[in-house]
A and B are shown apart, each in its own frame.
Chain A
Amino acid sequence: MTMARHAGIALAAAVVIWVLSVSLSPFRDYQMADVAVYVVAIAGLTVLIGQSGQISLGNGAFMAIGAYTTVLLQLHLNWPLWALFPASAAIAAVAGVAVGAAAARLRGPYLAGATLLLAVALPSFATQFASVFGGDQGLGLTVTAPAALGATFPPTRWLAWVNAGTALIVLILLANLARSRIGRSWRAIRDDETAAALAGLNVARLRILAFVVSAACAGLAGAMLAVYSSQVSPGAFTLTLSIALLTGAVIGGLGSLAGALWGSLVIVLVPTYVTDVATSHGLTSTVAANIPVAAYGVVLIAVMILFPEGIQGGLRRFWGITPPTATTPFARLNSLRRRPPASEHQEEGTT
């Protein structure tokens, strides 16, 4: 039943995408491919944060892993497109197992710090091993539209189809996952880890699994990014990228897959628009390039303080639908205490 509904929504979305891709200009098609990249990456991140309650500031690093996997496989082994995407997602998932195993033992700020360090550290690999990864210049790859579409077929429309189609498939899979037993278990450990463990859930394994899913999505998004921008360089995977993903997830509404779409649209369209307006008002390109960065910051702070449930949460409230995560009675009890004790286990004394 759920599967049928998700498939129906996806079919409708596919029709919309097809109509848009045919009627829009090549530049808009290119932007559609860009939005699809962010949808996949942000959907992976929002599942990790919203469903399993873990945070990652390093998903840009997983995107880098996926992108370099795609370029290297295409360059050296000449793999076709349909094989590159799963391979990139798989390699990023393996990296996700490694990071997730470390992450499963970490909480809140420790986890955020460790993944932040991952985002800062990983691009230096590409510089250190320049013979493999092409150094700061990066590597290029060429993907052409299949000949069956005809010689005059616009390549940007082909890229929009590939990326948007991939994004749709990922969204269906993630939506089913969230409605499955695994999704319920994730929400259980997010809301009360100890209770979930007592109920028989394997907390560590579930937390690692969430990381793997999130990393695989990021790796796939990296592969899509490599294909549509036809090159990969360490400069594309800075800390700013990881933070843009977080911003998109927060704006859209943490844990909501529809929110991932809103977040991606904001992340792709608003900076382009702001930069255009700023340059047309005679500001220098440095200033124009930095305004969206500062705006990300303002948005992150404002959304978190003013309406933490994001765009999708706002839409839900507008339509009068209660979000699936009702607050527990204990949340009210806790709010009576002005602040939680300084350390959760301070009362137990020192060992």
Chain B
Amino acid sequence: MREFVQFTLGGISFGMVYAAIGLSLVLIWRGTRILNYAQGAMAMLTTYIAFTVIGHTGSYWAGFAVALAAGVLLGALIERTVVRPVENKPPLNAVVVTIGLLVFLEGVAGIIYGGQYRSFPAAFSITGLHAGSVPLGISLNDCFVAGAVLVAALGLAALFRYTSAGLRLRATAFNAYAARLLGVRVGRVLTLGWALAGLIGALAGVLVSPATFLYPASMDSIFVLGFTAAVIGGLDSPAGAIAGGLILGVALNYVGGYLGSNLVPIFGLAALIVVLMLRPSGLFSTTTSRQV
């Protein structure tokens, strides 16, 4: 029972990271109907930038801020340069381009930083918290991870709900053609969507790297699980991505805790297949699935 509580609480912090990656995928999917396979690699690169800044300034928060800013810039830059030409092409072209981006960014990181595993600092203490004398299986930093993603998600929700930029984002996601007729500059809105996704992805990278170490492929497995979280939530629903991330994080932490950590990716695959077989449109999707 004590183990069960520990695994549950520990799973929440990982789940919030999957949720953040899932959320960034949903942001891009809603706007452009493109699944950004480079999201994890972008987060890896911004985390390396944070690593360099922390090394030079000695301040964690300077690195944290620079990583988020770099995420915004990288997202916008990628949308403008390589994604824009394939936005209206067959879906396969966008898949290949973002896969190309994934290997390109990993190759660049390997050239600049080498392949060795580096330890990335945590914002707060990583020693386990106790309730009385009972260990909870989580640390202050885990609470920070979960809290930071929650704050970012609420911030996004407020942006979508209360600002005119958010209204344009929603209009474009709903029907880009009609939005354009009503005077929305759709191109700019799509760039903004990618920039926001870059921000959330960068946040996820900085938050998860103390637990995974930092190396060029370090975000691969985090990305595929974030993708699974987004699919569980339905790819269309930001709230669904958060819920999907939490469900997946807790479930996989049970697998890792009770059965062995090598099996986590296999069970992630199984979860994805089961969800796609039973409910291809996800658990929280609002649109119907396509039929033949």
* Interface residues in chain A, defined as those with a beta carbon under 8 Å from any beta carbon in chain B: 49, 53, 55, 57, 102, 105-110, 112-114, 116-118, 120-121, 124-125, 127-128, 193-194, 197, 203, 238-240, 243, 246-247, 250, 284, 286-287, 289-301, 304-305, 308, 335, 337-346, 348-351
Contacts and interface: CB of A to CB of B under 8 A. Distances in A.
Contacts of B224: 113, 116-117, 120-121
B52 interface: no
A236 to B, nearest CB: 15
A318 B290 CA distance: 40
Nearest to B225: A117
A201 B162 CA distance: 50
Nearest to B104: A297
B110 A124 contact: no
Interface of B: 29-30, 33-35, 37, 82, 85-89, 91-93, 95-97, 99-108, 110-111, 114-115, 173-177, 180, 186, 216-217, 220-221, 224, 227-228, 231, 236, 260, 262-263, 265-266, 268-269, 272-273, 276-277, 280, 286-292
A184 to B, nearest CB: 19
A108 B95 contact: yes
A118 B272 CA distance: 10
A304 B99 CA distance: 11
A110 B221 CA distance: 16
Main secondary structure of the interface of B (DSSP, over half): helix
Contacts of A49: 92
Given A293-B103, A294-B108, A301-B101, A350 B82 contact: no
A194 B292 CA distance: 6
A308 B103 CA distance: 19
Nearest to B263: A128
B96 A300 contact: yes
B103 A345 contact: no
A304 B176 contact: no
Contacts of A127: 262
16 contacts: A112-B99, A113-B224, A117-B265, A117-B268, A194-B292, A247-B103, A290-B110, A291-B107, A294-B107, A297-B100, A298-B100, A300-B97, A300-B104, A338-B186, A343-B236, A349-B288
Contact of B272 (A114, A250, A284, A345): A114
Nearest to A346: B287
Nearest to A244: B103
7 closest A-B pairs by beta carbon, nearest first, are: A297-B104, A294-B107, A300-B100, A290-B110, A293-B107, A109-B35, A121-B265
A108 B110 contact: no
